[in-house]
Amino acid sequence: MAHILIAEDEPLIAYALADTIRQTGHRVTVALDGAQALEADAADPADFLLTDINMPVMSGVVLVQSLRGRRPEIPVIVISGFVFEADPLRALPDVEFVSKPYRYPEIAKRVSQRLGSPEA
């Protein structure tokens, strides 16, 4: 069981995605902005980051760059309705990009596949 950190400023989306991922056997922490996500990761390091790009307080771009500064190996899925906003992250290894809209089960499957989980 891996620990998945979700950074998404829309609570309904964040918690629906978290519930879907929990059904695959992973432990999930939800943060509603990038700063909360960094604090949550400092207290309980995640194995995987799912992040929106456009969030208040701290963007997903800054979140990924900050988290990768601490732990360069953490795999990331970036979710955005505006894929061009993620351009600063395109050169980073092990970062996948998903455009909105998406289906929650598809994201959960991608996470499990990236982690090599049997649920994939």
Instruction: Write the pLDDT tens digit of every residue in 83-114.
Output: 655 566 665 556 777 777 778 888 888 888 88
Least confident of 7-11, 32-36, 100-104, 111-115: 100-104
Q: Write out the two tokens for 45.
A: 């390091």
pTM above 0.95, yes or no: no
pLDDT at residue 120, as a whole number: 47
Grade residue 59 by pLDDT with cuts at 50, 70 and 90.
confident
pLDDT at residue 92, as a whole number: 59
pLDDT at residue 95, as a whole number: 73
Q: What is the mean pLDDT of residues 33-51?
A: 96
When the pLDDT of each residue in the chain is averaged and rounded to a whole number, the result is: 86
Cα distances (angstroms) measured from residue 48 to each of 20, 84:
15, 22
Q: What is the mean pLDDT of residues 73-80?
A: 89
Alpha-carbon span 53 to 36, nearest angstrom: 14
Q: Please state the domain extents for the chain.
A: 3-114
Which CATH number describes the domain made up of 3-114? 3.40.50.2300
The residue that leads in pLDDT, 66 or 83, is 66
Cα distances (angstroms) measured from residue 25 to each of 22, 37, 80, 97, 107:
5, 21, 25, 23, 14
